[in-house]
Structure 1
């Protein structure tokens, strides 16, 4: 059963900082560990460019989104906009999408979608069969609330995945990493495409969708 949330709310990155540094050609000395499970408003690792050199950086997953309590009229605590729709890149995301310095790569080993009846949903994991560590196209910016934060770009899912979810992350081919981090917006938008379903691996699990976060 498809679960129409329109977003990705959980992914894993089971690689070490050293493995990411090797794969993405960044310096290898960092004072943090890579969290294996990444949830919105929690820390994750991204790859970005700084003065012409790639770096790994720990950031919060999700741009802060503010709302007002209808009953009290007071501001609520910010929530996370952890995905950016591809059809909004030229509008609400334009400020960051059109600036190559604000684009990033989000390393991941698999992302999760929820399947099943409400209250009984389980985690279905999707990974990239032809890449040991995938790169999800992302955007990042400084925030007052959480420091530097990032969001991942989403596109319509391929028809083969439609029974799981109607959206999927924009997974970049390795030879597109440089372009996403450096190219102008007209070249970068051409990279915002579906990853072939026959190069993805789907693994259904008995893990409950909602469980205690470690």
Structure 2
């Protein structure tokens, strides 16, 4: 799963990179993006602010509503299921990032391992989005198997990363065309194993469906 990623560019820089309009003027983004917090996506030709994670509304033992949980990762093999089907068919987006992190190490002492594209200031991860009454517009990152990629020793799943030539096919192609892009990144990845505590700054229990 991807439960933390880094985005070091502002909305104007992202818009220029993706040849998109700036639709997020004045929005504040932290460099480190966590589930349930705002991030930047490119949707419908504009760089826009949305909340990372589809809200999953749960109830307690007595039927009382609980605080919604952000479902921030969508498994590629589940995109045609009820939870994701409409967003996948009609609202696919690009999620700009400079690196993503995975937790490694023994329980209680996990540290951050960052993965990125060597010498690439930005890369687009595949995403889906929708409007919610709870958080407004929100998005989720599409994940696929990492088997056979440089990410495999770090985690069994990784974000679906898109080559620039595939951006339009992901956002505007057919479902079958989009699904064909849901594969591991075959090119080299830069892997930075740090001593930063994994839990630093984390505020939510994220989810994968």
The corresponding residue for 1:91 is 81
TM-score normalised over the length of structure 2: 0.90
Segments ≥4 residues shifted beyond 6 Å = none
Between 40-49 and 153-162, report the one with greater CA deviation. 153-162
Equivalent of 2:15 in 16, 21, 24: 21
Q: CA deviation at 1:28?
A: 4.2
Where in structure 1 are there 5+ consecutive unaligned residues? 1-6
Q: CA deviation at 1:213?
A: 5.5
Q: CA deviation at 1:130?
A: 5.5
The corresponding residue for 1:137 is 126
The corresponding residue for 2:53 is 62
The corresponding residue for 2:108 is 119
Cα distance in 2 for partners of 1:134, 1:86 equals: 18
The corresponding residue for 2:166 is 176
Do residues 35 (structure 1) and 30 (structure 2) align? yes
Number of residues paired by the alignment?
A: 200
Q: CA deviation at 1:16?
A: 2.0
Cα distance in 1 for partners of 2:22, 2:55 equals: 30
Confirm or deny: 8 A CA contact 2:112 2:193 kept in the other structure. yes
Where in structure 2 are there 5+ consecutive unaligned residues? 204-209
Once the two structures are superposed, what CA deviation does each residue of 1:166-209 show, in whole Å capped at 9, x if it has no partner? 1000000011111111111111111111112x421100001000
Cα distance in 2 for partners of 1:90, 1:130 equals: 35
Q: CA deviation at 1:33?
A: 3.8
Confirm or deny: 8 A CA contact 2:115 2:151 kept in the other structure. no
Confirm or deny: 8 A CA contact 1:139 1:153 kept in the other structure. yes
Confirm or deny: 8 A CA contact 1:141 1:150 kept in the other structure. yes
